[in-house]
Amino acid sequence: MYLVRSHVRLVNFVKFVLLLGACQCPMLTKMLSFFSWNVRGLGQSCRCDDVLAELISSRPSVAAIQETKLSCLSPLKRRTFLPARLKNCVTLDAVGSAGGVLTAWDASICSVDSVTKLSYTLTTSFAVLADGSTFTFSNVYAPTLHEDKPSFLAELASLADLISGPWMILGDFNLTRSPADKNTGSFNLSDATRFNDLISSIALVEIPLVDRAYTWSNRRVNPTLVRLDRCFVNLDWDACFPNTTLSSLTRFASDHVPLLACACTRVPRSVCFRFENSWLLNSQFPMVVQSVLDQPLHGCPAKTFVLRLKRCRTACRSWSRRQRPLVQRGVTLRFSSTPLTFLKKNDRCMPLKLLSVASLCGVCKISALKNLSFGVNVSTLG
């Protein structure tokens, strides 16, 4: 009977350990990438080859192509510019030789739940196969004519009312937000104001382009450069994918720059500096700091003060990496212990005079405590 109970207890303990380990497993890290490019037509075979090469090299999860200028897409034509992993696609056909939007995706990463086709946007709802989470992606090709821009903004506003959950909007907006988005003095303030008001009203967050100021060029001797291609996300997307970045690729075929948005659920760790009190117990540490402070600096006192702090931080990090691990150190400690804390952990009594001296010092080394005789009579020490 005792052996049976022991066996049952062992089985229950193993189940508890397994359950605890499952609860402490880290969440699945999702990484998605989104490719966007206004290709200015896919009628020529050379342009199709360029798009195919770009998609093969970037390997996106979802590809958004604007201005395809294709009124219909046959399977033969699709294979000329889409790799096999992106063979699943939906299109917004061009009107004559103008417009045309295509969204393709990797079927091994996500599946499509629904598709919404409007005049200037192609919206697709996806489900991630790894965990079943959903998100919405809108491929945008805004009109170039000034009189059509209000209808485009109204379409975005109506589309926002239909979206629930994470939402990304990527594509060619053909609008600027500030004078800094253009290298010339001509700036349409009214269009920019309406565009910014819409972004604020539907609570969108723009993902900054980190490596380029402009995304379009007219390719002249004195070129006009404009930021037309953008990426926006809503607050739900920002909560699900806190690490979302936008970068540019090499422009070689179109007058637009291809963009690549990368979204990840992993929160980037901040590289912060932490000062350890144990460094003060090492006799070499003051010399490390003093050598940095003795270096001559010239300029504004505030700037030189900040520069000295930065140099001290760098020197402390470099010095701490060269120190031996804690288990290999003799008297150098990574922690400090106050006398009162030490007394709580020990049954024996510390002499009163030693306690008062240690209290004044505030911190004592374990090596010094080891040399103390705790079994002596207090009265004999006076």
CA distance 215 to 209: 10
The pair of three-digit structure tokens given for residue 275, joined into one six-digit string: 């000062």
CA distance 350 to 369: 10
Higher pLDDT pick, 337 / 183: 183
Shared domain check, 290 and 242: no
Shared domain check, 210 and 322: no
pLDDT of 117 higher than 80: yes
Shared domain check, 286 and 241: no
Residue 249 belongs to domain with CATH number = 3.60.10.10
Shared domain check, 293 and 251: no
Q: Which residues contact 246 (CB under 8 A, 6 or more apart)?
A: 207, 208, 209, 210, 231, 259, 260, 261, 262
Q: Which of 239, 264, 289 is the last residue of a domain?
A: 264
Look up the domain containing 307 and give its range: 277-328
Q: What is the pLDDT of residues 245-301, one digit of tens each?
A: 999 998 878 899 999 999 998 876 667 788 888 888 888 889 988 998 888 888 888
Residue 367 in domain: yes
Shared domain check, 292 and 217: no
Residue 22 in domain: no
Shared domain check, 241 and 116: yes
Q: What is the pLDDT of residues 205-223, one digit of tens each?
A: 999 998 999 999 988 889 9
What's the rounded mean pLDDT across residues 182-193? 92
User: By mean pLDDT, which of 6-15, 105-114, 259-268 is the weakest?
Assistant: 6-15
Length of the chain: 382
The pair of three-digit structure tokens given for residue 370, joined into one six-digit string: 């080891």
Higher pLDDT pick, 363 / 98: 98
CA distance 64 to 136: 13
- pLDDT at position 250 is 87
Shared domain check, 316 and 194: no
Give one DSSP letter per residue of 193-248, joined into a string.
HHHHHHHHHTTEEEPPBSS-S-SEE--SSS--EE--EEEEEEHHHHHH-SEEEEEE
CA distance 14 to 18: 6
Residue (of 145, 144, 122) closest to 65 by Cα position? 122
Shared domain check, 292 and 250: no
Shared domain check, 366 and 247: no
Residue 150 in domain: yes
Shared domain check, 219 and 102: yes
pTM for this prediction? 0.67
pLDDT of 341 higher than 80: no
User: By mean pLDDT, which of 163-167, 311-315, 354-358 is the weakest?
Assistant: 354-358
Residue 345 in domain: yes
Residue 320 in domain: yes
Q: Which of 264, 287, 307 is the last residue of a domain?
A: 264
Residue 10 in domain: no
Residue 12 in domain: no
Alpha-carbon separation of residue 144 from 100, 128, 147, 151, 182 (angstroms): 13, 34, 9, 12, 16
Residue 304 in domain: yes
Count up the domains in the chain and report the number: 3
Shared domain check, 123 and 86: yes
- pLDDT at position 252 is 79
CA distance 194 to 153: 8
pLDDT of 342 higher than 60: no
Shared domain check, 299 and 214: no
Mean pLDDT, the chain, whole residue set: 82
